[in-house]
A and B are shown apart, each in its own frame.
Chain A
Amino acid sequence: MTPAILTLFLSLSPAAVGPEAVPWNAQNAEHLLNRAGFGARSAEIDAAVAAGLDATIERLLTPSIDWEMPSYERIVEPAKKDLEGLSKEEQDKQRRVAREADRRQMLEATAWWFREMETTDAPLQEKMVLFWHGLFTTSIEEAKRSFLVLQQHEFLRRNALGNYADLLRGIARDPGMLVYLDNNVNRKGAPNENFARELMELFSLGEGNYTEEDVKEAARALTGRGSSRDGNYEFRSRQHDAGEKTVLGVTGKLDGDQLVDILLKQDACPRWIARRLITWFEGVEPQSARLAEYARVLRAERYEIRPFLEKLFSDPRFYRDEVVGARVLGPVEYMVGTARRTQIEVPAGLLGAGAALLGQRVFSPPSVKGWDEGYAWITTSTLMQRGNLAGLMLGVVKVADVMSMADVEAEMAAEAQSAMQDEGGMQSDSTDEPGMRPMTGEAGPGTKTAAKPAVKPKTGKAGGYAMEILRRIEGSGWYPIVNFRVRLERADARTDAQIVDRMLDDLLAIPAPADTRERMRAFLAGERKERKIAEGQLLETGGEAERILRRMAHLILSLPEAQLG
């Protein structure tokens, strides 16, 4: 069936179309692998096409056998009584050591997760961990202790492709969550409704599907649930309000588990989760009839995630024009996907730090709602910054340039200098004037130029945590190992057109627009001519070719089309 006829067919009778209606070709295979994983490579796409849709879905739905996280410790700052008798310096030191160990544990676990996303043989599982982390989110900024956050991560990881009802029950007992949303201090007679509200608004029903009275009553049902000092779930029966409550029309001496069961029985619940899942995977919100259809599936399957995803991935509507290649990659997806597509062994710390600079610092969401997806990721600034991070991965861009004003300062100082020369009275000793020195970063008191830099280049602490990691990686002497030239030779791509096609194919998730192809060809031809290299001979020039190809990869990954998948 040609695509045109297929489209017509679909538009006439969408409900009648079964899974077999998905045309299984390279484009759709790439689409599925990108959405269900990170940055599909050409070989993987070929393998998926050969295996067929059903086998590909089945493989995606098979969890990894070694999903286990590296072990992590219950690091707790020493309690007052443990520090008794010690000098103030010694007390401070012990606290500092504990904090530093906690920070390091967080960094190591983050790096581990990024490496896992990049190299796993069960990418859908990792994609779902990322999804749940955005839905049932908890921030290290508020939870404070790495153990709480990592314990939650382990829970989400174990249930990533499991059952939503189990996840909701578990998250309502998760010590990290209970601390994050203040349920730790939700007590009988002194309720705190923060967790109760978000449990309904964000984790299960969606706003508008409960009343303010329901929030207050649900908070009472949740009283007594908290985290022990060790970071274990704790139910403090004396703080629990055992009285009668009414939530969503159900009256009884409700506790937290009964509350969750009430939420799971609401029609709004499968609808809310189905909406979140479909929007995450498709990039656009589902129409109401389709949403209802998927909510029914979730309900019928008792909230099992696998059958839901199986239906979604074999649904021809998942492969429709509006969806394919039109979803903005999140920062984590962009960083991991870029590492995978370029096949560069990037230090995992760079991936995490890069995603953080682009607005997605994992384990530190901006709010309890997680991250805003889609176009919200792309600002005038982050779009450029994405290219800079690709440049770092490719060894084209230096870390010191990522947060720097040196270029503008030099440019303005040079302009000021030429302006003063134009004013006549050319002074031979003009370069001795303090304001005339380019790139000084600061000007002396006698300066008359308008270009006196007021913003000092922040090479010190600018960019905080993420920049610090990047500087450390660069300082360690890391340089990417990548060999585009050999890969192109193997593919027998030698002319400008062949090289550009191959590079675009490898580096982008979507077919490049014609004008992009032309621009890249022009770029390559220009670089060849500068060096007097004949068409078809570029790859013969060895290191020279490799440098040009890296620069072209940098350009490609900076383009709008590289942000979609």
Chain B
Amino acid sequence: MSTPNHIDRRALLTAGLGLGGFVLLGGRGEARVRSSGPLFGDDAARAGKVLVLVQLTGGNDGLSMVVPYGDDGYGRARTSTRIAADSVLKIDEYRGLNPELKGLKRHYDAGHMAIVEGCGYPDPIRSHFKSYEVWHTASARGRSAGEGWISKLAGVAWAKDETPELVVHVGGTAPYSVYSLSHPPVIFQTPQSYRWISPESDDLAAYRKAAEEDSARLVETRKQKSKAKKTGSEAAIDRLRGVLADANDSSSRIRRAAVAYQPNTKYPADELGESLKVVASLLDARVGSRVVSVELGGFDSHNNQRAQHDGRMRSLDAALTAFLDDLEARSVRDDVLVVVFSEFGRRVQENGSRGTDHGTAGPMLVLGSKVKGGLYGEHPSLTELDEGDLVHTTDFRSVYATAIERWFGADAAKVLGARYSTLPIV
């Protein structure tokens, strides 16, 4: 059932008023300020811009994605996982893409894909989980540094924006980067399962009424942070009521966007394909999302890696290419920046089981119609290693800073807690 709020919002959004700051009524029971956010830079131009984060979970072997086939060190270190020079998709005489990345190669050749080589951070951690904490918080201290970097970005760039879909994760468990008390993310796996079901209209009404009342009250509470905090059970109930309020507010809108959406391309029927199709529907419907996160798992292989990793590359290529091509003819195209990352790369030398163990630096990909494609940073040396691992050449936070500052026009130092140089990718 569509409430008047949704119609208002959709009507306003589709009327093209999504630019600049304006006021939406309803939703959480009060005037909802939809701030354009950026603290400096060209507000109007940057409103509506979106960051899509693609996480390759399990430690992507960067040397098998952007292959330094022209490096003697590569041939020496890699045997079973080696990708032959005549099969890589050549970028230049030194490096080429994994042969499965044919679609992405096309985007690279068209100048819309940037490869940032050797991304990592000082004193690298080889634990999947601790390393992700570093990536998700943009801090060496991990979770003890506080909320995730997307939460901080929302606080800096869109502090007053109460749109539940401001930050969305499509998938099961969301990355820590989007966890936030001030801008809690909308998280769902499929639009099909994203609703509360009752055959009785009275029950639906009771459920929604509770959610809406709580929503209005919680907006007040979130504002009055300084007031005496509840603890224990009461605080837990409030927090979950906030989730329910956002769920109630967003589920119908998201489901409607999915139903109305007609993709221009065929997405693969796997998890990443399905996720990115839903992302496209949300972006096309302009529901107000600024950061959307998706995940491709299955990278944690330690033996017989070649076939498994090739399969992952195939999935990534198919889904991401379908997504980019789908957006090609849509107005939202120029507002989308995609960043692909993983918690670490793999050790240069193979292990004894035709695989690789946990390593350090790896490439990040940045894609979009506004991206100045090409190579950024520097490929790490395959011979001057640190305990057998690559030494990073670009701090991954430089890529974050690039997105924050050059894409969103927000103050990256405020978000990241330190200043990192940006790259002229956008």
Contact = CB atoms under 8 A, between A and B. Distances in A.
B194 A381 contact: yes
B352 A191 contact: yes
Contacts of A25: none
Interface string B247-267: 100111001101111110000
Given A201-B127, A322-B231, A558-B196, A383 B202 contact: no
Contacts of A559: 210, 244
Most chain A beta-carbon contacts within 10 A, residue among B199, B207, B259, B353:
B259
Given A396-B199, A408-B259, A380 B357 contact: no
A192 B196 contact: no
Given A326-B232, A387-B196, A359 B262 contact: no
Nearest to A223: B352
A381 B2 contact: no
Given A321-B232, A324-B232, A383-B247, A513 B198 contact: no
B200 interface: yes
Interface string A378-392: 111111110110010
Nearest to B1: A411
A179 B303 CA distance: 11
Nearest to B171: A379
Interface stretch (B98-106, B182-190, B409-417): B182-190
A182 B203 contact: no
A185 B192 contact: no
B196 A326 contact: no
B302 A182 contact: yes
A523 B208 CA distance: 12
Given A207-B125, A380-B250, A454 B351 contact: no
Interface in B221-250: 231-237, 239-241, 243-244, 246-247, 250
A187 interface: yes
A201 B130 CA distance: 10
B352 A404 contact: no
B231 A523 contact: no
Given A201-B127, A369-B129, A453-B259, A378 B243 contact: yes
A451 interface: yes
B233 A455 contact: no
Contacts of B210: 516, 519, 559
A401 interface: yes
Contacts of A182: 302-303, 353, 355
A526 B209 CA distance: 14
Given A455-B191, A519-B206, A554 B198 contact: yes
Contact of B252 (A186, A357, A408): A408
Contacts of B117: none
A107 B130 CA distance: 34
Interface in A457-473: 457-458, 462-463
Contacts of B255: 405, 408
Nearest to A459: B192
A388 B232 CA distance: 26
Contacts of A409: 259
Nearest to B189: A381
Contacts of A320: 232
Contacts of A519: 206, 209-210
Chain A, interface size category, equals: 35 or more
B302 A194 contact: yes
Interface string A333-345: 0000000000000
Contacts of A326: 231-233, 235-236
A415 interface: yes
Nearest to A374: B236
Contact of A380 (B2, B194, B235, B355): B194
Contact of A367 (B125, B189, B261, B300): B300
B357 A560 contact: no
Nearest to B170: A381
A276 interface: no
B172 interface: yes
B150 to A, nearest CB: 15
A511 B237 CA distance: 11
A398 B207 CA distance: 18
Contact of A560 (B244, B259, B355): B244
A462 B234 CA distance: 37
A190 B260 contact: no
A8 interface: no
A116 B384 CA distance: 56
Interface string B348-389: 000111010110000000000000000000000000000100
Contacts of B172: 359, 366, 379
Given A185-B353, A207-B130, A563-B240, A404 B192 contact: yes
A398 B197 CA distance: 9
B8 to A, nearest CB: 15
B198 A391 contact: yes
Nearest to B128: A367
A462 B192 contact: yes
A397 B297 CA distance: 32
A542 B107 CA distance: 67
B312 interface: no
Contacts of A453: 259-260
Nearest 5 A/B pairs, CB to CB: A190-B352, A560-B240, A325-B233, A379-B187, A381-B188
Given A212-B126, A369-B129, A452-B262, 12 more contacts: A189-B352, A213-B387, A215-B126, A321-B233, A380-B243, A381-B251, A383-B247, A384-B194, A405-B255, A411-B2, A563-B240, A564-B237
6 contacts: A321-B231, A380-B186, A381-B188, A383-B240, A387-B207, A403-B190
